[in-house]
Chains A and B, each alone.
Chain A
């Protein structure tokens, strides 16, 4: 195994523990606060966040296709699939920012206060989803650099695979953030 791949795996393990600590802390706060806000009605909030989840999952599939094309040495198709992955990442970020904008401007949720319950919710919600969104945005930039480098023949198939590891990790984290943050706070 190459050093780049091992390095990425070690980064992923350390980042997993960062998100684990945040999500365990969130779960603690969620279970122990009797007035935890439930700001997400099924329609539209949960439908919206489920769409975001499917978009991110779809971008993971396009990344798998990019890695497979790179391993076949098919540079043109690999770049095409990487660009498709970038579009998925951008769409996810756009949807996420729209959701944040609506929550802040229409429902008056901020990082320190909200009209529905404990103010801790804002810190936890914007903190965890914000850190994840930062990872997605860094991932899109990383994908762009690898697409250009691989397209010009400067990067190898291993670079695309390492990039894929990072992108799948971002998807994996969302598989915990979506159910724990959104589905645990559904408004009935």
Chain B
């Protein structure tokens, strides 16, 4: 394959269109706006933390899928990268959550 054909093949199997990327970007800014709006409503720290983590995971998934092209890569790569990472993060949360919520109950109000 010559250089031009190779470049064309590379270009054709990677990434979304400009419009899709722009839509993802607008979505990311909108979610950021929602997070800032939530900061106005004095929610309890545990509720606020949970909502913010969920919204951040959605934003991370959008960035990884579209901006980082993971949606357009071979699914084997996703299987290589994502489950081990989620497993390790879950292990951190398994130790964090029960202890943190127990201490939250103990602290003076």
Contacts and interface: CB of A to CB of B under 8 A. Distances in A.
Contact of A1 (B28, B35, B73, B85): B73
A36 B88 CA distance: 28
Interface of B: 4, 7, 10-11, 14-15, 18, 21-22, 25, 28-29, 32, 35-36, 38-40, 42, 45-46, 48-49, 52-53, 55-56, 59-60, 63-64, 67-69, 73-74, 77, 81, 84-85, 88-89, 92-93, 96, 99-101, 103-104, 107-108
Interface string A61-100: 1011101100111000000000000000000000000000
Contacts, number: 131
Contact of B85 (A16, A60, A71, A188): A16
Contacts of B81: 9, 13
Contacts of A32: 100, 103-104, 107
B63 A183 contact: no
B48 A184 contact: yes
A32 B102 CA distance: 9
21 contacts: A17-B89, A24-B96, A28-B100, A31-B46, A32-B104, A34-B107, A42-B40, A46-B39, A50-B32, A54-B32, A67-B14, A73-B11, A164-B67, A168-B64, A168-B67, A171-B67, A179-B56, A180-B56, A184-B48, A186-B39, A188-B42
A128 interface: no
Interface of A: 1, 9, 13, 16-17, 20-21, 24, 27-28, 30-32, 34, 42, 46, 50, 53-54, 57-58, 60-61, 63-65, 67-68, 71-73, 157-158, 161, 164-165, 168-169, 171-172, 175-176, 178-180, 183-184, 186, 188
B93 A73 contact: no
Given A42-B40, A60-B25, A175 B60 contact: yes
A21 to B, nearest CB: 6
Nearest to A158: B10
B60 A172 contact: yes
A169 B64 CA distance: 8
Contacts of A164: 67-68
B15 A28 contact: no
A179 B55 contact: yes
A13 B73 CA distance: 16
B39 A28 contact: no
Contact of B63 (A17, A46, A53, A171): A171
